[in-house]
A and B are shown apart, each in its own frame.
Chain A
Amino acid sequence: DVKVTQSSRYLVKRTGEKVFLECVQDMDHENMFWYRQDPGLGLRLIYFSYDVKMKEKGDIPEGYSVSREKKERFSLILESASTNQTSMYLCASSRTGVGSYEQYFGPGTRLTVT
């Protein structure tokens, strides 16, 4: 059974703190993604990675960075958390291949920045 896990379901941090959100997949997928989801805005792509140590900016990368040192792990970093980064963060993974673009999502991390 495919699985994407995220390090925390709920997280509360203070403004200015450095925040790490971890995501691990056990499917040997090449691609991994970080989204944030806010009411009325749907899912917005922050960063994605198609290989180890490779990354590309999504639609809203400002204020975020990512790290992919191993194939199965993709980390989202908030260098200095701000209140407007309070959101639900979703990690996903997918394989590369013709005819399939199924993304498998983790359960999400609800981050509150106070």
Chain B
Amino acid sequence: LAKTTQPISMDSYEGQEVNITCSHNNIATNDYITWYQQFPSQGPRFIIQGYKTKVKNEVASLFIPADRKSSTLSLPRVSLSDTAVYYCLVGDVRTGRRALTFGSGTRLQVQP
């Protein structure tokens, strides 16, 4: 399984755009990149998933360069409620028989 590396923590202020970059140098051809969000005392929640280039939904954008060795989760205009831990995962989603590995994540703290 491809290993991911992401910053341990980040700080931001309300209204700013936050970009969290994840490194996955050993990503395989069939691997997708997925990001999860976790609030204290809750299970992680799916945010976004992509394979290449750019993916966008109502919550976030995901940028993936051509070599796919890294990805960047972009949160536009964060609020206090975006304070959470964000996990980057890489894995083959085709069969579901290969489970993904969650790392330690990035703890985002949003200040007023």
Contacts and interface: CB of A to CB of B under 8 A. Distances in A.
A42 B42 contact: no
B104 A42 contact: yes
- Describe A's contact surface by its main secondary structure: loop
A108 B96 contact: no
B38 to A, nearest CB: 8
Nearest to B41: A108
Contacts of A94: 96
A30 interface: yes
A103 B93 contact: no
Interface stretch (B21-29, B44-52, B64-72): B44-52
Interface stretch (A11-19, A44-52, A68-76, A79-87): A44-52
From A35, A41, A42, residue with most partner B Cβ within 10 Å? A42
A59 interface: yes
A43 B93 contact: no
